[in-house]
Amino acid sequence: MTLKIKAGLLLLCVGIAVYAGWNAWIKTRRLVPLDIPVSWSARQSVGSTFQLNFSGMYLIEIAAEPSIPAEELHCLMGVEGNGTECKGTPSVVAATWTVSSKGRDVAHGSSAEPHSAPTQTRGVTRVIGEFQGKAGQVYEVQVTFTSDGQSLAVAHPRLRVAVASIAYTDLDSEAVLVFSIAFICVLFGVILLAIAYAAKHRKAG
């Protein structure tokens, strides 16, 4: 076996391994490590633990299904841009939250503070908090609601912890880089094998 054939086969194997390895890794990432149904009354607390296997910015969200008119749902969730349209339907999403790990507070805040844009869901999502998470760490989120959310029960609200949209952008960029590396390895591998094949046939001729 000539050096060109060995190098060509090696490059093909590297390209395939890089692409397959990336796909295997990305499929195991839990980008929504917590997604539980929640209903609440004023001064009620809801908590849950979860473990991360992806480092990045995470959002604490309340997500609701579009089972009631969109205008009413937006108002109840407090995501209507024009507050004058919701005078008769005030928001029921008001809460404080804390995220801790190993008994120590990692972050805390409230739904009244400005937050990042929510992740994409089928219904309406309200971000009430965000924190920086590290892979391998176990976290606990504790949410204390300061308003009664019973009127939102028909929309089946859920408490979610999800990777922020900016992380998806980073993943897309990394995927392009991985694909480029894999493609270049495979391309040069094929070229070397083609050169070796052509040289062999010239000698045979």
Instruction: Tell me the pLDDT tens digit for each residue of 14-65.
Output: 999 999 998 898 888 899 999 999 988 888 999 999 999 999 999 999 999 9
**What is the predicted pLDDT for the residue at 42?**
87
CA–CA separation, 77 vs 91, rounded Å?
Answer: 5
CA–CA separation, 128 vs 50, rounded Å?
Answer: 18
Name residue, tokens 């801790």.
100
CA–CA separation, 59 vs 103, rounded Å?
Answer: 20
Nearest to 128 by CA among 149, 104, 153: 149
Across the range 123-135, mean pLDDT stands at 94
| DSSP code for 146 | S
**Structure token digits, residue 185:** 């390895």
Higher-confidence residue of 86 and 54: namely 54
**Helix (H) / strand (E) containing 69:** none
Is pLDDT at 80 greater than 80 in this prediction?
no
**What is the predicted pLDDT for the residue at 122?**
76
Average pLDDT, the chain: 89
CA–CA separation, 116 vs 139, rounded Å?
Answer: 20
| DSSP code for 141 | E
CA–CA separation, 178 vs 67, rounded Å?
Answer: 41
Nearest to 154 by CA among 66, 49, 28: 66
Strands (E), 17-64: 34-37, 45-51, 56-64
Nearest to 72 by CA among 88, 60, 49, 59: 88
Strand 34-37's sheet: what is its strand order? Answer: 34-37, 158-163, 56-64, 124-133
Cβ contact 40:145 at 8 Å: yes
Nearest to 159 by CA among 99, 72, 71, 90: 99
Q: Where are the alpha helices (DSSP H) in the chain?
A: 3-27, 70-77, 165-204
CATH of the domain spanning 32-163, picked from 2.60.120.790, 2.60.120.40, 3.30.70.2740, 1.10.240.10? 2.60.120.790
Instruction: Categorize the per-residue pLDDT at 167 as very low, low, confident or very high, splitting at 50, 70 and 90.
Output: confident
